[in-house]
Structure 1
Amino acid sequence: MTTARNATTTRKPPPGRAEQILRAGERVFARNGYHGTTMRQVADAAEVGLSLVVYHFKTKDRLYRAIFEARQYVNEERLARLAALRDPTAPDALDQLVSAFIDPVLALHDDPADVWYARLVLREASDPSSQERDIIAELFDPLARAFVTALERILPDRPPGFHAWAYLFSVGALTQSAFDDRITNITGRPDAGGKHEFLRSYITAALRGA
């Protein structure tokens, strides 16, 4: 039997110096935003010459887009898991949908180097100028439509507008979960763990109980 994970077509980031630049770009863009970042800052963070960054990516816009394109394997896995959900009337259909939605992203949170990309996604999605770059529209909106359609099949009795808003509220919870240090700032105590299951329970309960 083919599992959702095995069915995923995974496109890994390019190897070598190009990958080094992309990972550095994730950190710098996540901290400074698109407009607050320069190619030289990325080169310094990657510990390479500016000429090498220009050689691989030509412009800041191309570098920025390449970061998201190199991470598209995350969304591809989410879609593959969603496609494996065959029966929307199954008792665990909503649980399967939530797992497909959050698990590939939460896997990034487990690696301190990868979590910067999760933070960058939030920054791009909340940037008023993001429409100029079309990254969200091209790389994330097809995913959103697929999940909204699946929600409509699993929860057909909800009122108009519910499914799209439920998806966006879930996106908000998922993206904010990339900032573990907020827990320490709010409570004055280090995070005791359990974030993954707390988030899963929160989103599932909100969808089911609405």
Structure 2
Amino acid sequence: MDLTKRIHQYTRGAWTFDVIDSGPIDGPLVVLLHGFPETAHSWEQTSELLHEHQFRTFAIHQRGYSLNARPQSRFHYALSELTEDVVVFIKGLGQPVYLIGHDWGSVVASSVAMKYPQYIQHLTLVSVPHQAAFLKACLSSNQLLKSYYFAVFQLPILPELLFKKMPKLGRNFLKSSGMTEKQIKIFETEFIKENRLTTALNWYRGFFWVQT
């Protein structure tokens, strides 16, 4: 990749991923990985703060979110695949990066750092810890009860109907997660109207069934 130019897309195999590249063109490189229910646009405010400190940011629309990287089957969403999607991009940059993940993005970020530490200058995980720490919390606290939605999202069709056919109930769920009204409206546009919900939920469905 040519770092003297803006990078808006990259490919891995049959998939093309969209990237939001912003900030000083010659700044240290920060790769941002979003979670659910978010897209790369959720990093807008964080990116602005990083730009003030002269960092260049790359927010990736990950698998299931980029228009041309949305396989329908949950079997395409193994953590190994999600990890390699990001590694291909970082390798292309040609230098170690600051890697920041939020929610599911933290799961992928920790996997990237564990498998390819040579590509990571600094790792930041927001909201979700390393998988081993999360499992320990589930076994020793009420974290398992708080993560009930993992089981709900395994159900076929029902979660999609919740958001599409029962918008009030879906909105209440999103509000309970701490989302603002603006974020909920973005969710309704980017996930419901643009039909991304199933491929986004595949992160949950693929995680339990096809880990490698």
With the length of structure 2 as denominator, give the TM-score of the two structures.
0.31
> Which one has the bigger helix percentage?
1
With the length of structure 1 as denominator, give the TM-score of the two structures.
0.31
